[in-house]
Structure 1
């Protein structure tokens, strides 16, 4: 029985969740590796993915429900805790799974991974929960704590968002980030059109819809994109809708010389390159293996001729390039990733506000380093996948204060998103279009220093 059960989605979910919590593994990468290694069926892969993401997304809520039933939490083994959380998640959030099936397999996993005492302990907890029911969230009187537990969001993040966008908007954002992320692709305009790609994917039995965020994106509501012929041929690039907006806002010309200062894995590099003919995009990353990844993605996207990938810390770019070398520069900066909570839910538990403040300093230093490399009249586009102001407009404002030769203009997109906003920068919140959270600023160099 042990050999059989250790290949089941529930058993693998416990293993994965322990790896994410104890080793800091990325859930999406660990999931893909586990599915491939165990050759899971489509049904089993779906259940595994659902449980792993669900437990991570609702971790604080599930821990709140479990707490009254654990007398000595410090003695609880990590895998046993994860096992109980998976059982709770299935009971509360997955309506189509019988309680009997959840109980039976949870107890069997406890027996196989542990010993008779662990099996007895897990059995007792499950039956106690079944008899007594779960504690009510209404018992939490502190409104910030209540929202934190209900949406499984660390208290510091709830407090910071409320300071920045208000109580109602914070609640709206946090009520959507635990939903499943949309599967979206960018049309590789170098080799196909949205119409042709839609027809090809529909011929492969995928359900496709237009995006309301950008004309470059398609939503794919059924099927697995990497398995399609269109993906293999480089016609479809897996990318979130919001992430496409930074390059879209750059108003590129076919002969532009472009610097992508923080380029790996190369999604925005290939988007830039698809719009170039005689121009070129120079793409930087500090890690050698990530430079290789940029090159691989450029090859698959049929834009290798337009891409020059280099291993270089963007903060040392002036040592490699002469002043005024580029018409356009993109700094898609290292950030806290707080806008990606649907795709990387573990991020919210790993980060603290101090991390955001530390990243602000790095972001400003990158902007400082690349500023001299831009031609007068050129555009420096700054973007992040976070929604915290310390890494967004505060970073831009700090840069502008030190660089009066630059002016911030209102960021524009093809679909004129949030065109009536007062802010010059464009912030996409996760609840706006159910896409990733993202920020874009458009900075024009008016004079030379």
Structure 2
């Protein structure tokens, strides 16, 4: 990594953060657009690490600028503010300070801030020398959302906030169709990559040290995918019989569709999503995994049955419902910036509408798994209880402790438990009413 690439990578990180912090953009698409502009995979990995480090704890950097600058930066200085955060984050990431600070000062010139390079240098050196102000580490959580976490999980609030600010392990899902987990673990070992297993996850390997996805042996050929352990449990919760007619109702980006087909290519699976563009991601993922011909992909609103359903019932339906994403803040830290209190009622109403509509597509004796990556009870156990109360032919089926805490109508995993994301699961059986 030469000096110019070091400055350019910091400038790219600043541009991404400026878009997310100051222009309301989402982190994932901004990174997807920015990373390919960097040729060196080490630069791409660094940009990603810096952006996540900033967005997981932005309040401490904001407090530093407030304390150390005689005049606050204006709206026109948003790119400069983002670059300063880039420099601060490198100190938290324990990168070699001299090179990191020098590259960040050079990046000030790259983004057209040559006249302020001295100020950038002075502020970064002060952070290196004095450390950051002591503040509430989770002050960037919206007050309304933190209050809901406290209400729902009073004994777990601080653990949830801390886990949500911590980098997660890298969970892999080994493609059964291309060999078993132990065979792939051996391939990783040959490449010098250490991996551990979780007995509750038959297809999973856990990597505690970060690694570029492209460096995973066989990734491009479909040998392995990245999927959190909590998400991998969904296939077990659904457990459709061999050859079953299956619906993945909100399928994009396609990880759960792919997992089900990896486990049983004989499934007659329909992958549905309201966003046609996001179905392209499902399609490309299935192609990489050599499963391209195994699923029927449809773009439609799952709740509008007249638009897509042919009237033939499904043996198993997966509703991984749109939600607040409060269980995956550590993977999508910009959720805290974009989510509004009014969103929750909208989400709850949408989830109920999807449940009621999709229940009509389930065959008698079949199952529907309702899942979310939320930790809010109104989206999870309250939603499941309300559905059961108004649906006489629905019965909840017990899931074991590997799915998390027993909530009577399902199981709740909180962020960081066993290294998993926050997730809710409810398995519902249709019976004769």
Is TM (by shorter chain) over 0.5?
Answer: yes
Distance in 2 (CA, whole Å) between partners of 1:131 and 1:303 is: 54
For the residue of structure 1 that corresponds to 2:165, the secondary structure is coil
Match of 1:181 in 2: 168
Give the 5 Å matches for 1:183-198.
Answer: 183-198=170-185
Match of 1:302 in 2: 290
Cα gap change, 1:131 to 1:199, in 2 (>3 Å): closer
Distance in 2 (CA, whole Å) between partners of 1:420 and 1:175 is: 19
Distance in 2 (CA, whole Å) between partners of 1:7 and 1:344 is: 26
Match of 1:142 in 2: none
Identify the match of residue 148 of structure 1 among 119, 128, 138. Answer: 138
Distance in 2 (CA, whole Å) between partners of 1:220 and 1:28 is: 21
Is contact 1:250–1:381 with CA below 8 Å preserved after alignment?
yes
Q: Following TM superposition, by how much is the alpha carbon of 1:122 offset from its aligned partner in structure 2, in angstroms?
A: 3.9
Residues 122-131 or 192-201, more deviating: 122-131
Match of 1:51 in 2: 50
Residues 329-338 or 112-121, more deviating: 112-121
Distance in 2 (CA, whole Å) between partners of 1:308 and 1:48 is: 37
Matched, 1:95 2:71: no
RMSD: 2.7
| Unaligned stretches of 5+ residues in structure 1 | 138-145
Match of 1:292 in 2: 280
Identify the match of residue 200 of structure 1 among 160, 164, 187. Answer: 187
Is contact 1:206–1:221 with CA below 8 Å preserved after alignment?
no
Identify the match of residue 341 of structure 2 among 336, 348, 353. Answer: 353
Residues 209-218 or 372-381, more deviating: 209-218
Residues 47-81 of structure 1 show CA distances to partners (whole Å, capped at 9, x for unaligned) of 32222111111112221232123444362510111
Cα gap change, 1:115 to 1:384, in 2 (>3 Å): closer
Match of 1:39 in 2: 39
Matched, 1:163 2:151: yes
What is the aligned residue count?
429
| Unaligned stretches of 5+ residues in structure 2 | none
Distance in 1 (CA, whole Å) between partners of 2:213 and 2:124 is: 38
TM-score between both structures, scaled by the size of structure 2 = 0.89
Cα gap change, 1:293 to 1:41, in 2 (>3 Å): closer
TM-score between both structures, scaled by the size of structure 1 = 0.86
Match of 1:325 in 2: 313
Match of 2:366 in 1: 378
Match of 2:427 in 1: 442
Residues 124-157 of structure 1 show CA distances to partners (whole Å, capped at 9, x for unaligned) of 65566678764333xxxxxxxx3633xx433222
Residues 402-446 of structure 1 show CA distances to partners (whole Å, capped at 9, x for unaligned) of 32221222224xxx4167735331111112112211111111111
Matched, 1:396 2:381: no
Residues 30-62 of structure 1 show CA distances to partners (whole Å, capped at 9, x for unaligned) of 3354333220252x3343222211111111222
Residues 194-203 or 378-387, more deviating: 194-203
Matched, 1:282 2:270: yes
Is contact 1:213–1:242 with CA below 8 Å preserved after alignment?
no
Identify the match of residue 203 of structure 2 among 216, 220, 228. Answer: 216
